[in-house]
Amino acid sequence: MQIQIAHAALEIVITEGTNSARPVAVVPFKWLGVQPKPKDMTDFASVIADDLRNSGRFSPLERSLMPQTPATESAVNYAAWKETGVEAIVIGTIKPLQDGRLQIHFQLINVLSGFKNQTPQKIDEQLVINNDHIKLNLKGNFSTRRPRHISHRLSDYIFENLTGTRGAFLTRIAYVAINYDDKYPFKLLISDYDGMNQHVLFRSTEPVMSPSWDPTGKKLAYMSMEDKKHEIWIYDLVTQKRELIEPYKGSNIFPVFSPDGSKLSMILSKSGQADVYVYDLKTKKLDRLTKNRGIDTEATWAPDGKSIVFTSERGGRPQIYQINLESKKIKRLTFEGNANLNPSISPDGKNLVMVSLQKGKYSVTKQDLSDGYVQKLTNGRLDKSPSIAPNGSMVIYSTVVKGKQVLSLVSMDGRFKAVLPASDGEVKAPAWSPFLTSKKN
């Protein structure tokens, strides 16, 4: 089985929240090659600007409004940039190397500090030129095979420097696409976080649901009905091979990898009712966690791996509960709204993100796990399946726009919103990958 490139792509359309964003500028990088720059070369600065804009935290200046396009710090006209009101600028150069790689040198510069530092300061009776306005000054050699990945990596550096939070631009999303006009209507796909570099992993005539990443970002667990029953599969992105998890009687649904990747939580109905189980991928041992007359479903792990949160109807209506894996004690987490479902816990363990039913509308909400405070993040009617970015800054979820299922983004503070409409068919069940590079890279 080979990964196939899909023709349909997602495209981020920002709908709300740019008024509170910080103004920055990403200047087009200067080409230093002897030969003209290839016409089909990725515009690194444009991708970086899009990344920063998509985060909801920044508002990049349009190129037509830039007072100049400097490639080096010494060429920056700080007075002119100060007039634009931008907080920081990104400048850079691209040099082709003989081995086919590209040498990229980029700098992140604080405009106001740079303006002040133009005048030497007197320290210990000596005039000193301060360069602390240069916040990043990085040079690296990169392969040209994945140019957008280079841009996303640079965006991660910039985002972390400006916010103190690790960037999540070099990540992927997995999701399900549905087009009933196709021979194989159901597809499992992955793409970059922004919907680009989209690939089809699996096609089927039967429904595919609930993809989940392993902690390495190299495997996906999902549910498929290709054999006319609910089964759990694991897809290896490296070998492009699939493995069937031994199916049990009844439904086998909602597989989620544990934080260390050694286990899967899942929902099985082998006993006649839906309960939460944990399956050890090495020993094949199955451990039943819940036993209740009400339906228990949508289980997912806490970041520390010590507990699992899940949706249960044991109280009459769907609410979120948490089970301690050592003591097996269960406690209810949610009390507001008519119903709460689709739980996930933020990477720092501080917030519960879920879908809440209030006044007939299903919307994404966030609950502080320390004090129980609930904040509504979206205003949709049929929002589903929220998945949190690995840095905890954004949530991707499925919703309905003009009668069509699409993916949407919302920031964790609820201020920034964007839609990722598919150009073909419908998309749902998003899952945000873990970080795909180590922090030192």
Q: What are the tens digits of pLDDT across the range 21-67?
A: 899 999 999 999 999 999 889 999 999 999 999 898 999 999 999 99
DSSP label at 74?
G
pLDDT at residue 425, rounded to an integer: 81
pLDDT digits (tens, 9 = 90+) for 294-340: 899 999 999 999 999 999 999 889 999 999 999 999 999 999 989 99
Residue 116 pLDDT > 90, yes or no?
Answer: no
Provide the token pair at 389.
């970015």
Q: What is the mean pLDDT of residues 364-368?
A: 97
What is the arithmetic mean of pLDDT over 219-232? 95
Cα 291 from Cα 435, distance rounded (Å) = 35
pLDDT of residue 11: 60
Is 244 in a helix, a strand, or coil? strand
pLDDT band of residue 2 (cuts 50, 70, 90) is very low
| Predicted confidence (pLDDT) at residue 6 exceeds the cutoff of 60 | no
Distance, in Å, from the CA atom of 408 to the CA atom of 379, rounded to the nearest integer, reads: 12
User: Is the pLDDT at 1 greater than 80, yes or no?
Assistant: no
| Percent of the chain whose predicted confidence (pLDDT) is above 70 | 92
Cα separation, 401 vs 90, in Å, equals 36
DSSP-based three-state secondary structure for 121: strand
pLDDT at 117: 83
- Contact between 222 and 267 (Cβ < 8 Å): no
C-alpha 190/C-alpha 196 separation (Å) is 9
Q: Which DSSP state fits 346?
A: -
What's the pLDDT score for residue 399? 93
CA distances to 20, 195, 345, 367, 409 from 54, rounded to whole Å, are 13, 12, 22, 24, 9
Structure tokens at 302: 């806490």
pLDDT at 128 (0 to 100): 58
Helix (H, G, I), strand (E, B) or coil at 122: strand
pLDDT given at position 126: 60
Domains in the chain: ranges and CATH: 16-163 (3.40.50.10070), 172-432 (2.120.10.30)
What is the rounded (10 degree) CA torsion for 369, 18, 380, 334?
A: 0
Average pLDDT, the chain: 91
Calculate Rg over the CA atoms of the chain: 24
For residue 16, the model assigns a pLDDT of 60
